[in-house]
Structure 1
Amino acid sequence: MTVKPDSGRRRRRGIALAATLALAAGTVAVPPAQAREKRQAPGEELTTSTRLADRRSVVIGDRFYAMSTADGLYPAAGWHITGEMGGFWTPPVKLLDGVWFGVNGAWLGKQARAESHTVGYGYTRTRYAESGGVRVERTDVVPDGLRAGLIGLTFRADKKRTVRLDVDAHSELMTAYPWGGTSPNQGVYNLQDTGAYEDGALVFRERGKPPVDNASEHDFAALVAADRKPVGHRLGPGHRGPQEPPVICQDADRCDDSEFGKGTGGRLTYEVQVPAGRSVTVWVAVAGSDRGDAEARAALRSALRDPEGLLARKKAARRAVAANTVVDLPGDRLLQRSIEWSKQNLADSAQEARDLRVRVTHEGKQFPAPKGVVARARWLGAGWPDYPWLFGTDGEYTAFASVAAGQFENIKAHLRALRDASEIANDRSGKVVHEVVSDGSVYFGANDDKGNTDETAKFPSAVALVWRWTGDRRFLDEMYDFTVRNMRYVTEKLDKDGDGWPEGLGNVERTGMGEEKLDNNVYTIRGLRDLADLARAKNDTATARWADERAARMEKAFDKTWWKGGDTDQYADSIDDPNDPANDNAKLFQRHWIGVTPMDAQLVRPGQVTRPLADDKRAHVALAKREEECYTGEFGLYHTGTGPTSAEGGNKGPSCDSAVSTVQSERVIYSLGTGIMAVAEGNFGRLAQQRRYTTANARIQLDPDVYEMPGAMPETAPSPDFDPANIDRKLTERSMVLQAWGAYGTLWPVVRQQLGVDPDMGRNRLEVVPQIPPGQSRVAGRSIRLGSGSVDVAAESRGKTLRTVVNTARLDGVALRIGHVLPSGAKVASVTLDGRSVAYSVRNTARGAEVVVDAGARRGASTLVITLR
């Protein structure tokens, strides 16, 4: 069952997956961390050779993506449209269920067994066992900017051979929305495909108008061809290679097609001359369009004109991604490798579509006429294969990872797309939509939907974050009006009882919660403070004053209203019990992960040091409790902790307090929740404790005993209540194999907290105040993008000497404040900057005492040395 922390019921309604979650107790046993780390190969590739038929593999470009299993086959996968979320896609349409390759009658992945699968920066490679004296290596790549994907088959033989290559393709031209459980559903909306052979290519079309009110005429096309002429072809309803005849998804553990399928098939046959001892590569392209076959043919020609060149350019582009935020963590190489792969995951997540017809579906219950069109949208897809489209919550968390990785352009585009869709769907009210499918369908988040309080409140914070890291005045100017309306909407429309605490759904949507949720109000306070900061940059003093004053009132009342206290040592999850309207602010405690958000959210206040909302004393107590086994498992933070409960089944785990909850625990670990816990620990200088959570996210990405796809951060970790893990589940019942938001829990802790990079580029200011984790002596990072330049940082702790080196040679006119977090209880003997004694200050922060020095606006290296007593 895929249950996302920010989604709950709204993403699951109509999906009917609840029965798939096995609530089995226990933990997942894995080898010791040191043994695992020794097996991790550095560099641009990760290879696995086990359970290839069970592993999903995705290869992604910004206009096209494909998902198979790691053996190169295409079983039915995904659950939004059951069994149809894999295969080949060019958003907003699916093109093919799959492409299969027969070599002298032996199908790759079946008779010719896959021996290994490699994930590289921007490509995958699969090696097959020898069959009939021929070995084949397959390379999959999707060029960016092109609605096409490429598969290169490299043949090698011990002697000169003529190889017959059969290429089977089965179409499934289908829109990303409607889904299987919506009204209408895809069974009604999907039309029959047709197949033809033209100019050496298989040509599949779906043309017509679905028999649904407000549907429009469409012309979808998918083409398959190679970089040479075929010697034969066939057309017919099948052509699925070794997956013919197909098993239809009903109760089957593994299937090949869904009840919604209306595709057709074809085969291209080639003769390939393979010289003795030399290799030859055949390139096969899949191209498509939702605008007819002319665009698809153009994409096919572009893909086949120079496949090797496109592969080389993709690799070069991904090496450019790798060249930003290059970290050196000698005391934590696993986390260092996670940073490298997290940057690639974020680059993989970029998606783009044109002419999105924005229609509000009210959780799939309606299919009205579109309210407007977004001509071009670019975004960070939330997760593959079932969430590759635009989300509010996902993007607002992923924004932190994006700026830390230096990937400014994609997160700016994501926020613009979210604004554009929201303005149309919600009539410029200021409310942010939750979920927009790549065709423009808004599943949830309209004005009359009870939700999105957190997403609307987080939007100004995401804009402020991007503004501080980029200094992009044009971006600030174009987004500012929307951010003002965001916070006006939250405070004026969502606080119906007038108590100062907004209502509505937030990150967690579970039964028994009060009308006012903790995370919504935490992020409302932060959103107001960030809006005030944006307003000051815009010289909008009235808005700045209003937002600061509103935030200050909420902050003053926060602990009294939300701290549950007793032996819970936690904040309440919600207040305002709907079953007890006379007691408006009754505190409800259910142990959901959102209890960490007061420690996660940093507040920018004028004239004050930036710090989290939670006060130090309560934060340390609350975080320590969250580290106990009632809240945290081997792979991170549970969605809902264990303890006394009146829910059916009783307490299913240990107890850390005596409070009786009304809901059942949910010991499912999401990479986002673990990431938020890692960030919260770092906000309070708890880097020894933080490592438990950064390691958890790194392991599910890089540990060969844990990951499904090497290098891909998944949505869900092995968990007591998510057992079996993804790789042991049906392909139609898995959570996401690649999920963007988990990078928040690796990139941000390293760049912002350990390296201490804190920019305000819109005001030409930069603070760098590192904190080295206990037991380590050095952390460093280079080419950390800020504005139009970058900064290098190195921090050391050796004996009684702390050293911070900041190189601003690639920044122009930025006023630098340089410092270091002191070890607990340490006293300063002397401070020098570039070898000279210098005035300094010691400020108390949530991270601990910080020594800071104003280094001025100079370019080049600045070296701060602190000698301790």
Structure 2
Amino acid sequence: MKYIFPLLLIFLISCQNDNPLNFYTQVNNLEKIEGKEEYMKSPFLSAGKRLYVVGHQNGSFPDLGWHVKGEMGGVWLHPIKLLDGYQVEIRNNKTQECLTKANQFFNYPIGSEQVFNLKSLGLNVSQFHFVPENENGLIIAYQIENTLTKETQFEFTFNAYIDLRPVWLADSLNIEDGQDEGEWKKRWSAYLAKDKKNNWFTAFGGKSFEPSDSENSCKVTRKGLGFDQALSNSINLKSGEKKTIYFIVSGSDESEKSAIKTYNFLSKNVEQLLEDKIINYRRIQQSNKLITQDEGFNQMYRWLKYNSEWLMQDVPGIGTGLTAGSPDYPWWFGTDNGYALQGLLASGMHKQALQTIELIVDLSRKANGENGRIMHEASTNGVIFNPGNLNTTPKFVSMLWKAFAWTGDKELLGYYGLVKKSVEWLESQDMDGNTYPDGAGMMEIHGLDSEMIDVVSYQYEMYLAAANFAKVQNENVLADEYRVKAENLKMKINTDWWVPEFNSFADFRSDKLQAIRLTENAIIRADSIEKPWSVEELRNTLETIQNQEITGASPFVVHHNWIVNTPMEVGAADQEKAEKALKTAENYRNRFGMFVTGIDRDEQQEKASKWKSFSYVGAVMTLPTGVQAIAEAKYGNADKALEYLKMLQHSFSYALPGSMYEVSPDFGMMTQAWNSYAVAVPVVEEFFGIQPKAWKNEIVIKPNLPTTWTNVSLDNIKIEDNKLDISAKRIDNVMEFRISQMHNWKMVFEFQGAKHIIYDGNRIKGSKVELYDRLHNLKVEF
């Protein structure tokens, strides 16, 4: 019966399309999360796949961001910017108000809202930002309510801060920003602005609004070659009356005609476009839907899917893919997507993952030819900034295999040649013949040019993925070669990289002199941020290194960097070593999660200014915390893994409601793509134990649920064209499972530690059973 619901939903949606609901009627029926008063002067994001807007939650648009200094806010239609922002001024013959000090901020999956209580004018105003999914434009809806007992009249002025300018790295394409100019287009009731040196255009306006020459009381000082333009209209409202006004902003990096065409289309289809976007987000909500007894956790899991959709960006002529984060990383990363796309796959967002894979591969080939190296970072104008770090390529290859396992998309097999080249390229970076690539991985340690543990861990993971690809392609000899390499590397990780006196895997391997130099540098950094306990610890480490008899390259634990946990993340660590290393890692966390390095164990975090100065030293980033959760779960510690996910939950909605920052709780990118990896992968692949084999119509399920999850479900789990529902109830030492699927695929259930399994009336001894039908009820006795 569960699969009747999607069909009914589609029928209801198709009926609604003929009669769209009023804009604010639709909005008021949506889930929303209210912001905190203390964070009203921090950023928000409202996005579609073509355009997004970044401003402050209070309604202002200050200069923000550092990547293009002060320019990362405003309205962006990559690869160009349209506006630095916009602000409304409302005045009558006695007073005036600027909509820059909102009383409330609400975030929705499909947009964001600021509420202004203008007591001096007797008005309540809602400003709702809404970006249609696939359009080069923005709709700003204003609902104005007269709270007076009499009719009121006022002037409503929309101030647009025009700044048509190019994206980061445009200078490498010899693109030069020009002075902006504009004119009123009476025929369209729109103001059109153009960059003098480029075919960049933006059009904006509202019904019955015309250019105003009145002085802008809300004017802000800003840089750039743009200008301000005001549009005004006089409005009358009866007592208690509400009125909705729409302002449209459109743009084009090609022609005036295109900008005007979009402007007119959006003007005529506001309600329908809103409804279309709501339908899209409802699909995301229903896919891989998690229900636990902790609604806060459910909400975090659900909204991180929305966060991922916010970061999808389509740039014509370049491609469509998941960007890294907002506001400073609205471009594409091979490294970040090696993680983030695994989260999308586990969340059921397969289309988005496949689009991003195609884009990253295209950009990598542009940067590196056919040598198999995966690029690290590219701007939305197609310029490659970094052709690839050492960890980027192996992590991306392992993600490619997961994409094939989840989607069964045979086009992914077309990347098999790339996979083989990627293996060869990474192996070619071993400069001293010890099988370990030489150079920086995820964390770049100043002065280190030797070997990093995350690169080696991900190399192990890459060999397993390559072996799987080779087997599917019937290249069994090569598949065996890759597996042997993986096993040999696993053995070496547990010998060459283990440091028993620290109960930890090493950050890096180097000679003694380099290790001494790096430790001395770490002492200086720790002392500069006034961490005496860290200075003492590092001095003890330095003394130990100096007193050791060391010849050649050896493993060292200096920074206690989160990457020391990657052997557990990928399952390469021996059980005994994993248990010790995971216990050691508990010393390098606070209530928000795992530190980037071990230099800061304080209960409270360093201020953002210090983080900026010291390159995230001591920062608590979401990715390391997610890696630790995956590592704990992979070694059977579901309760400990959930503990780390609960730490991430402390950061969710902390500063931007409905979002999770890059650095917990409120620093870095306000929305970060890899958070989906940090949460969805441990929940779906580890707790529920979903291990798809879509290419052979098979699903392996190895549940390892936290003990507090006594009544949980995960519905509409998307695996190729199949859909799977799992629910579980725990009563003492018995777990009851109900599993249904759309197709009759083979399902292999494994319950570690189970004594008996009762399924469909049959009681068998053991912990494993194979089933093929669409619906099963199981009892597992432990």
Q: Does residue 1:420 correspond to 2:362, yes or no? A: yes
Q: 1:195 to 1:670 in 2, by over 3 A?
A: same
Equivalent position SS for 1:667 = coil
TM-superposed deviation, 1:311: 1.6
1:636 to 593, 607, 615: 593
Q: 1:664 to 1:432 in 2, by over 3 A?
A: closer
Tell me how large the CA RMSD over aligned residues is: 2.5
Pairing of 1:42-441 with structure 2 (within 5 A): 44-48=31-35, 50-51=37-38, 53-104=40-91, 106-110=96-100, 113-130=101-118, 131-157=120-146, 158=148, 159-178=150-169, 189-199=176-186, 200-208=189-197, 218-226=198-206, 228-234=207-213, 242-244=218-220, 246=221, 257-258=222-223, 261-330=224-293, 332-356=294-318, 377-441=319-383
Q: 1:306 to 1:816 in 2, by over 3 A?
A: same
Match of residue 635 from structure 2: 684
Distance 1:386 1:145 in 2: 22
TM-superposed deviation, 1:834: 1.2
Q: Does residue 1:538 correspond to 2:454, yes or no? A: no
Q: 1:416 to 1:624 in 2, by over 3 A?
A: same
Distance 2:271 2:511 in 1: 62
Match of residue 592 from structure 1: 561
**Residue deviations 1:262-282 (CA, integer Å, cap 9, x gap):** 111211112334344332211
Q: 1:434 to 1:665 in 2, by over 3 A?
A: closer
Distance 1:541 1:794 in 2: 38
TM-superposed deviation, 1:241: 5.5
Distance 1:665 1:578 in 2: 26
Equivalent position SS for 1:468 = helix
Equivalent position SS for 1:751 = helix
2:748 to 803, 817, 829: 817
Whether the aligned pair in 2 keeps the contact of 1:45 and 1:120 (CA below 8 Å) is: yes
**Residue deviations 1:744-777 (CA, integer Å, cap 9, x gap):** 2221221112222111111111012222212442
Equivalent position SS for 1:114 = coil
**Residue deviations 1:428-450 (CA, integer Å, cap 9, x gap):** 211111001101111111xxxxx
Q: 1:424 to 1:775 in 2, by over 3 A?
A: closer
Task: Give the letter for the 1:595 counterpart.
Answer: V
Q: Does residue 1:858 correspond to 2:773, yes or no? A: yes
Task: Give the letter for the 2:107 counterpart.
Answer: V
Equivalent position SS for 1:639 = coil
Show structure 1 runs of 4+ deviating over 4 A: 183-186, 578-584, 651-654
TM-superposed deviation, 1:307: 1.1
Q: 1:242 to 1:625 in 2, by over 3 A?
A: same
Whether the aligned pair in 1 keeps the contact of 2:490 and 2:573 (CA below 8 Å) is: no
Match of residue 400 from structure 2: 463
Whether the aligned pair in 2 keeps the contact of 1:193 and 1:205 (CA below 8 Å) is: yes
Q: 1:521 to 1:230 in 2, by over 3 A?
A: same
Match of residue 582 from structure 2: 623
TM-superposed deviation, 1:353: 0.4
2:718 to 768, 785, 788: 785
2:701 to 756, 764, 768: 768
Distance 1:556 1:455 in 2: 23
Distance 2:346 2:720 in 1: 12
Higher relative contact order structure (alpha carbons within 8 Å, sequence separation ≥ 6): 1
Match of residue 651 from structure 2: 700
Q: Does residue 1:574 correspond to 2:536, yes or no? A: no
Equivalent position SS for 1:345 = helix
Q: 1:665 to 1:173 in 2, by over 3 A?
A: closer
Q: Does residue 1:837 correspond to 2:763, yes or no? A: yes
1:454 to 387, 391, 402: 391
Equivalent position SS for 2:68 = coil
Whether the aligned pair in 2 keeps the contact of 1:599 and 1:614 (CA below 8 Å) is: yes
Whether the aligned pair in 1 keeps the contact of 2:211 and 2:229 (CA below 8 Å) is: no
TM-superposed deviation, 1:652: 9.0
Match of residue 658 from structure 1: none
Aligned pairs, number: 703
**Residue deviations 1:310-342 (CA, integer Å, cap 9, x gap):** 122212211111011111111x33222211111
TM-superposed deviation, 1:52: 5.3
Distance 1:653 1:71 in 2: 30
Equivalent position SS for 2:499 = coil
TM-superposed deviation, 1:355: 2.3
Whether the aligned pair in 2 keeps the contact of 1:514 and 1:578 (CA below 8 Å) is: no
Q: 1:792 to 1:108 in 2, by over 3 A?
A: farther
Q: 1:501 to 1:264 in 2, by over 3 A?
A: same
Whether the aligned pair in 2 keeps the contact of 1:425 and 1:442 (CA below 8 Å) is: yes
Q: 1:99 to 1:241 in 2, by over 3 A?
A: farther
Equivalent position SS for 2:159 = strand
Q: 1:653 to 1:671 in 2, by over 3 A?
A: closer
Task: Give the letter for the 2:144 counterpart.
Answer: F
**Residue deviations 1:216-246 (CA, integer Å, cap 9, x gap):** xx311111111x13244349xxx875243x1
Match of residue 416 from structure 2: 480
Q: 1:652 to 1:579 in 2, by over 3 A?
A: farther
Q: 1:524 to 1:49 in 2, by over 3 A?
A: closer
Task: Give the letter for the 2:88 counterpart.
Answer: F
Q: Structure 1, unaligned stretches of length 5 or more?
A: 1-41, 209-217, 247-256, 357-376, 446-450, 602-611, 644-650, 655-662, 719-724, 727-734, 842-850
Q: Structure 2, unaligned stretches of length 5 or more?
A: 1-28, 516-549, 605-613
Task: Give the letter for the 2:304 counterpart.
Answer: S
Task: Give the letter for the 1:193 counterpart.
Answer: D
Question: Identity percentage over the alignment?
Answer: 23
Task: Give the letter for the 2:338 counterpart.
Answer: E
TM-superposed deviation, 1:545: 2.9
TM-superposed deviation, 1:701: 1.1
Distance 2:478 2:239 in 1: 75
TM-superposed deviation, 1:666: 2.6
Distance 1:778 1:201 in 2: 56
Whether the aligned pair in 2 keeps the contact of 1:334 and 1:695 (CA below 8 Å) is: no
1:800 to 723, 727, 733: 733
Q: 1:426 to 1:514 in 2, by over 3 A?
A: closer
Q: Does residue 1:673 correspond to 2:587, yes or no? A: no
Equivalent position SS for 1:666 = coil
Distance 1:284 1:192 in 2: 25
